[in-house]
Amino acid sequence: MTADSALGIDFGTSGARAIVINQSGEIRAAASVPFDAATDWATTWRSTLFDLLEQIPAAVRQNLTAIAINGTSSTVLICNRQGNPLDQPLLYSDDRGVSVLDQVKAIVPAGHTVISATSSFAKLLWWVNQGFGAGEDRQPYFLHQADWLAFLLHGRLGISDDHNALKLGYDVGELRYPNWLQTLSLPFQLPEVVTPGEPIAPVLPSIASRFGLPAACIVCAGTTDSIAAFLASGAKTPGTAVTSLGSTLVLKLLSETRVDHAGYGIYSHKLGNLWLVGGASNTGGAVLKQFFSPAELRSLSQQIASDRASPLDYYPLLQPGERFPINDAKLPPRLEPRPDSSVEFLHGLLESIARIEAEGYRLLQSLGATPLTGVCTAGGGADNTAWMQIRSRVLSTTAARDIPVVRSAQTEAAYGTARLAQSRIRDKG
């Protein structure tokens, strides 16, 4: 068995997955655990983490050098000094922070990324308003999902990474908490923030003994699930991008220049010496599923003349409202006229989503991002050959140069997290 393997663990929206890779990037083991309906998420996460470790063969575990974990962005929890949760975690999509948005806007600079009902900072203020942090639980820790799960392995409470901490308000340009956050009288201990992948500490002796891990196996700082998926693609050079074709359309472009624009929901993560600039549209696969079954999508797509532009001009949305690449909270779906031919209708939908994608990349570049040179594709839409061909044609036409569109060699976020852990250990070595 190859030594110096790295384990990446992905806690996504519907379940968790683990992947072990060797120094050459080959997958040596994989495991997965779906999430059932949970009422106690912290307990579910803990048991899932340990279930994943147990599923990995003992011969693989004994050669692990590094472990890293990714979690869903803005999924957070508060815990006491022993690391025990004081309340149920608030998930990425929990919007109860809407009740404190006026407070948020009064504290942070105009247009800041954290001005959102689902941001980590809004959730922090919501807990403050509930009275947490007083009495015997004074100064509890505020942590992200990935932070707490990593703590269960290395035992050092209160460490995060700058990918997860962005929506808490952490300044990824200055690599520190901004003055407006440092001067707040908060009843919580904010996490120490380090670079994603940074080695934190060896696994706890009890964890090493229970799972047969080397005592020197290092747990590294994690990242978010979407950035982990980008890392899995292998994209490394400025101008390369990853489009995730899932329920929605998510674009991430590697750039030499940082770009942030609150109006379009655009923000940048630090990635080494570069910036990962992202935007997300409400269009995507969820609209397609409204009209076609998976079998129909496969069959009809094979009949599309993908080298020919569709004359249909749609803006496929499930409901009114768009932020990127058009900022219009009332933008109505445009799905008419509908031709008699289902093939032509699907062609029009795919072509229209491709135009929205192209406009998204054009917007990022107009705001200063590095010009697009190529796109890797993740998500369910990566398996649709006709759609890939349509997108390459539309992107190339819009950019007035050839823009290759390929399927990401690896699409699992757990793979990207394993790469993150391995690269950091290699760098330290």
User: DSSP strand E in 168-259: where?
Assistant: 192-194, 199-202, 218-220, 223-224, 240-245, 249-255
Between helix 41-55 and helix 145-154 the angle, nearest 10°, is 50
What the block records as the tokens of 28 is 């040596």
SS3 120: helix
DSSP 258: -
Q: Which run of H or of E encompasses 148? A: helix 145-154
Q: How far apart are the first and last CA of the chain?
A: 21
Tens digit of pLDDT at every position of the chain (429 positions): 456 899 999 998 889 999 999 999 999 999 999 998 778 999 999 999 999 999 999 999 999 999 999 999 999 999 999 999 999 999 998 999 999 999 999 999 998 999 999 999 999 999 999 988 766 566 899 999 999 999 999 999 999 999 999 999 999 999 999 999 999 999 999 999 999 999 999 999 999 999 999 999 999 999 999 899 899 998 999 999 999 988 899 999 999 999 999 889 999 999 999 999 999 999 999 999 999 999 999 999 999 999 999 999 999 999 999 999 999 999 999 999 999 999 999 999 999 999 999 999 999 999 999 999 999 998 888 889 999 999 999 999 999 999 999 999 898 999 999 999 998 666 655
SS3 352: helix
SS3 11: strand
DSSP 119: S
DSSP 293: -
Q: Please say whether the beta carbons of 327 and 263 come within 8 A.
A: yes
Q: Please say whether the beta carbons of 356 and 323 come within 8 A.
A: no
Burial 80-98, CB ≥16 within 10 A → b, else e: eeeeebeeebbbbebeebe
